[in-house]
Homo-oligomer: A and B are copies of this chain.
Amino acid sequence: MGKTRYLPPLRRSLAAVSLLALLAGCQATPSDALHGTGDLGVVVERATGSLAVVDTSERRILERVEGLGDLSHASVKFSRDARYALVFGRDGGLTRVDLLTGEITHRVMQSGNSIGGAISQDGSLVAVANYEPGGVRIFDSATLAPVADIPATYRDEHGETVRSKVVGLVDAPQNRFVFSLFEAGEIRMIDMNGETPEVTRFPDIGDSPYDALIGPDGRYYIAGLFGEDGLALLDLWHPEAGVTRILPDYGRGEARLPVYKMPHLEGWAMAGDEAWLPAVGRHEVLVADTDDWSLVGRIPVHGQPVFVMSRPDERQVWVNFAHPDNDVVQVIDTETREVIRTLSPGEAVLHMEFTPKGEHAWVSARDSDRITVYDTRTFEVLAELDSESPSGIFFTDRAHRIGL
Contact = CB atoms under 8 A, between A and B. Distances in A.
B33 A30 contact: yes
A95 to B, nearest CB: 10
Contacts of A25: 13, 16
Contacts of A123: 39, 57
Interface string A28-72: 101111111111100000000000010011000011111100000
A3 B34 contact: no
A228 B44 CA distance: 55
Contact of A82 (B9, B39, B63, B101): B39
Contact of A36 (B14, B82, B397): B82
Contact of A237 (B9, B83, B175, B335): B335
Contact of A400 (B63, B104, B271, B400): B400
Interface in A246-270: none
A65 B4 CA distance: 8
Given A1-B66, A1-B104, A16 B6 contact: no
Q: Main SS of chain A's interface residues?
A: loop
A17 interface: yes
B28 A14 contact: yes
A5 interface: yes
A400 B17 contact: no
A7 interface: yes
Contacts of A84: 36
A314 interface: yes
A23 B100 CA distance: 27
Total identical chains = 2
Interface residues of A, number: 87
Contacts of A82: 36-39, 82
Contacts of A7: 33, 100-101
A402 interface: yes
Contacts of A273: 273, 291
Nearest to A5: B63
Interface stretch (A144-152, A205-213, A297-305, A356-364): A356-364
A217 to B, nearest CB: 5
Contact of A173 (B17, B121, B173, B358): B358
Interface string A197-215: 0000000000000000000
Interface in A169-189: 173-175
Given A21-B21, A38-B79, 9 more contacts: A4-B102, A6-B63, A7-B101, A10-B27, A10-B32, A13-B21, A34-B34, A121-B359, A217-B312
25 contacts: A2-B63, A2-B67, A5-B62, A6-B53, A6-B100, A9-B32, A10-B28, A17-B21, A20-B21, A21-B21, A30-B33, A34-B34, A36-B81, A37-B38, A38-B80, A38-B400, A39-B81, A39-B82, A40-B81, A173-B315, A193-B377, A217-B271, A237-B315, A356-B401, A358-B402
Interface of A: 1-7, 9-10, 13-14, 16-17, 20-21, 23-28, 30-40, 53, 56-57, 62-67, 78-84, 97-104, 121-123, 173-175, 193, 217-219, 237, 271-273, 291, 312-315, 335, 356-359, 377, 396-397, 399-402
